[in-house]
Amino acid sequence: MREMMLNLQAAARKAILESEDLEALEALRVRYLGKKGELTGILRQMGKLTAEERPRMGQLANQLRAELEEAIEQRRRDLNDRMLELQLQREAVDVTLPGLPRKLGHKHPMYNSLDQIKDIFIALGFSIVDGPEVELSDYNFTKLNIDEGHPSREWTDTFYFDPDSRVCLRTQTSPMQVHAMETRPLPIRMIAPGRVYRKDEVDATHSPMFHQIEGMVIDKGVTMSDLKATLNLVVERLYGAGTVTRFRPHHFPFTEPSCEMDIQCHKCGGKGCPTCKGEGWIEILGAGMVHPKVLAGCGIDPDVYSGWAFGMGLERLAMGEYKITDLRLIFENDVRFLEQF
C-alpha cells in the first residue's frame, strides 16, 4: 500500500507539473484527490491493513493529500500568472501612436499678459476696476488737468459723438483715476485695464483701438518712493529678478512730478542694440504723483492724501513678451495665431 501511495505521489506530481491549463489541472485534482479519486481508492483498502499499520498509512495518506493539494495550488498560481502574461502581451499597444486629440482653447495672448499683471497687483493689495469706454470729455480730459485747446482733444486725435465734443471714446484709461477717486472709499489701490481709442490708422504698430492698464494708489503718506518701490517690484515679477530699471522725468498733465520707467534692454544688457534702438533701455510705462489739482478736483484733500498713478500699453507688453511683430495680428484673430499661445 505504501508503495502504491508512493507511485501515486510520483505520477501525480509529474502530471500536475505538466498540466497546461486550469481545466487539465482540475481534472488531475478530481483524478487523484476527488471523492472517487485514486487516493480515495487506495484508502478504501485500509481495511486490509493491520491495526498497527493503519495509523501510519493514514498519516502518510494525509501528508500525500496535503502535498498534492499544495502542488495543485502552486501550479494553479503559475498557470494564472502565465495566462496573465499572455493576456498582457495580447493587449500590447504601440505607445508611439498619437493620443486622442483633445482640443484645449487658448486665451488671447494679450489677455495672458494682462492676467499676469492683474495677479501681481492683486497680490499687492490692488482691486480691479472697470469703467465706461464711452466717456465724458470732462473725465477723459478736463478733470485730468488737460485743458480745452490741448492737442489731444482735437477731432483729428479723439473720436467724438457730438458736435460739442462733450462725449468721446476714452483715449486713455486715466479717467478711471477720476471715477475711482469719486466713488471708492479711501484708501484706494486699484488697476483699471481696458480698451482705449485714438484716431490712428491701422498699421504694424498702430490701431484705432488698443488697451491700457491704469493703476493708482491714494492714501495718506504716499510718496514717489512708494511709486518706485511698487513699480520695481512689479517689473521684477514681469521681467525677472534683477531687472535693472531707471526712472526719468517726463510730462503728463495729471501727474506731478511725472516720470517714465525704462528697463535695461535684456538683449544687449544696456549696450545698445536694434531691440532698444541703440538706447540700451526700453520704455515700459509712464507714471507720476497724482497732481494735487486732480486730487482736489475729485474731492480729495491734497493736504491730507497723496497718490501715485501709472499707465502702460498692453499691446506693446504682449508683443514684447511673445515677440509678436505686427499689431494687426492681435485683432485679426486667426486661429493659427491664437493657438500658438
- Name residue 286's beta-bridge partners: 260, 311
The two most distant CA atoms of the chain are separated, in Å, by: 133
Q: How far is the CB of 113 from another protein (least distance, A)?
A: 12
Give me 263's grid cell: 528697463
3-state secondary structure of 236: helix
Positive or negative CA dihedral for 64, 66, 70, 72? positive
Is-contact 125 189, C-beta < 8 A?
yes
Residue 14 binding another protein, by CB under 8 A: no
Residue 203 binding another protein, by CB under 8 A: no
Interface residues for another protein in 260-279 (CB under 8 A)?
Answer: 277-279
Interface residues for another protein in 133-152 (CB under 8 A)?
Answer: 133-136, 149, 151
Residue 159 binding another protein, by CB under 8 A: yes
What track of x and - describes contact with another protein for positions 283 through 312 (by CB under 8 A)? ------x-xxx------------x------
Choice between 38 and 135, CB closer to another protein: 135
Give me 64's grid cell: 500525500
Is-contact 155 169, C-beta < 8 A?
no
Contact residue for another protein among 59, 166, 203, 204 (CB under 8 A):
166
Contact residue for another protein among 15, 72, 217, 300 (CB under 8 A):
217
What track of x and - describes contact with another protein for positions 218 through 237 (by CB under 8 A)? -xxxxxxxx-xxx-x-----
Residue 206 binding another protein, by CB under 8 A: no
Choice between 189 and 316, CB closer to another protein: 189
Q: What are phi and psi of 270, to 5 degrees?
A: 95, 0
Return the closest-CA partner of residue 184 out of 130, 255, 120.
Answer: 130
# binding residues, another protein (CB under 8 A): 93
Contact residue for another protein among 69, 251, 304, 326 (CB under 8 A):
251
Contact residue for another protein among 51, 92, 93, 104 (CB under 8 A):
104
Q: How far is the CB of 254 from another protein (least distance, A)?
A: 11
> How far from each other are the two terminal CA atoms of the chain, in whole angstroms?
85
∠ CA 244-249-253 to the nearest 5 degrees? 130
Return the closest-CA partner of residue 293 out of 150, 187, 180, 142.
Answer: 142
Contact residue for another protein among 19, 32, 121, 212 (CB under 8 A):
121
Interface residues for another protein in 311-330 (CB under 8 A)?
Answer: 330
Give me 7's grid cell: 507511485
Residue 242 binding another protein, by CB under 8 A: no
CA distance 64 to 41: 14
Is-contact 40 34, C-beta < 8 A?
yes
Choice between 27 and 167, CB closer to another protein: 167
Give me 122's grid cell: 492683486
Contact residue for another protein among 116, 142, 208, 328 (CB under 8 A):
208
Q: How far is the CB of 266 from another protein (least distance, A)?
A: 18
